[in-house]
Amino acid sequence: MLELRNLSFHYTRDPARQTIDRVSLDIHQGELVALLGPNGSGKSTLLQLAAGALRPQSGEVLVNQQPVASLTRREIARMMAIVTPGYEVRFPLTALEYVLTGRYAHVPAVGFDSQQDLAIARQSLRETDALQFAERRINQLSAGERQRVSLARALAQQPDWLLLDEPTANADLAHQISMLRLVREMANRQRIGALIVTHDLNLAAQFADRIMLLKEGRLVASGPPGEVLTTSVLSDIFNLPILIDQHPQSGRPRLFWESNS
């Protein structure tokens, strides 16, 4: 299990305001949880806390029963992979080289890639439909192409837990769906647990087992899409009148904004 226990966090620059305010949430193996909320509600901060990249001022994160605060970066990387949109490309690595950096947690010596690591990296690129970029430099890829390479790097880590920050934000419709299908399949088959930040309410409604809604650092609703995605909850959180009906095949909620507003 990945357990966030009563986390509170504020940035040092801004101690007067709790960016994350007493948030608890558990993610189980095989579960896909979508984290939704307006800009600035604390979603990315919560992901960084879950990954052990930020330390909460109170509360704790447990991954596979171990406090994240007690683990080394390498130990964490064997269990959790995080994909963030803000990755700055400092070195013009090729996509394959970049995905291979995801293997570092498993490789005994730095700078040595085994045939097995190469095979895993190439397979990960294939799974995200990015193998054709293997020899291209990642700073020369489009944002959507780079996102697929970033997801491939996370898969190459072979983690138990995937933390994805707006993984489909720049992807075309077909790739948005294929990326989420892939994570869904990994949850079903390999029992990976995933926490996915997204602004796409409809994608979240279709693919998530559970939806968490964050507002001003507080968790204001959590549950299955059919229970959480209601007109009153969403209109309150996004301050926008929202209409909801059902997907004709899955029966899951389908969301629209009001056309006269």
Q: What share of the chain is helix, strand, coil (3-state, %, to 5)?
A: 35, 25, 40
Interactions with ligand ADP, residue window 19-48 (CB under 6 A): 19, 37, 39-45
Q: What angle do CA 23, 28, 31 make, to 5 degrees?
A: 105
Please give the structure tokens belonging to residue 20: 């994350």
Task: Count residues binding Mg ion (CB under 5 A).
Answer: 2
Our finding on whether 44 is near Mg ion (CB under 5 A) is yes
76 versus 214: smaller Cβ distance to ligand ADP: 214
Our finding on whether 13 is near ligand ADP (CB under 6 A) is yes
Write each residue from 2 to 41 as x if it is in contact with Mg ion (CB under 5 A), else as -, in one continuous string. ----------------------------------------
43 versus 153: smaller Cβ distance to Mg ion: 43
Q: Smallest distance from the beta carbon of 185 to ligand ADP, in angstroms?
A: 26
9 versus 133: smaller Cβ distance to Mg ion: 9
Binding partner selected for residue 37 from ligand ADP, Mg ion, none, CB under the kind-specific 5 to 8 Å limit = ligand ADP
Count of H-run helices and E-run strands, the chain: 9, 12
Binding partner selected for residue 150 from ligand ADP, Mg ion, none, CB under the kind-specific 5 to 8 Å limit = none
**Whether the Cβ atoms of residue 1 and residue 62 lie closer than 8 Å to each other:** yes
Q: How far apart are CA 62 and CA 80, in angstroms?
A: 12
Q: What are the residues whose beta carbons fall under 8 Å from the beta carbon of 108, sequence distance 6 or more? A: none
Q: How far apart are CA 173 and CA 196, in angstroms?
A: 17
Q: What are the residues whose beta carbons fall under 8 Å from the beta carbon of 43, sequence distance 6 or more? A: 35, 36, 37, 165, 197, 214
* Alpha-helix runs per DSSP H in the chain: 43-50, 73-79, 95-101, 115-127, 143-156, 173-190, 201-207, 225-228, 231-238
Our finding on whether 198 is near Mg ion (CB under 5 A) is no
19 versus 124: smaller Cβ distance to ligand ADP: 19
At residue 39, the 3 state secondary structure works out as coil
Residue with tokens 């390479």: 149
Q: How far apart are CA 195 and CA 23, in angstroms?
A: 14
99 versus 221: smaller Cβ distance to ligand ADP: 221
Interactions with Mg ion, residue window 146-185 (CB under 5 A): none
100 versus 164: smaller Cβ distance to ligand ADP: 164
The window from 44-52, 121-129, 141-149, 225-233 that contacts Mg ion (CB under 5 A) reads 44-52
Interactions with ligand ADP, residue window 43-82 (CB under 6 A): 43-45
42 versus 253: smaller Cβ distance to Mg ion: 42
Task: Count residues binding ligand ADP (CB under 6 A).
Answer: 12
Residues near Mg ion (CB under 5 A) are 43-44
Residues near ligand ADP (CB under 6 A) are 11, 13-14, 19, 37, 39-45
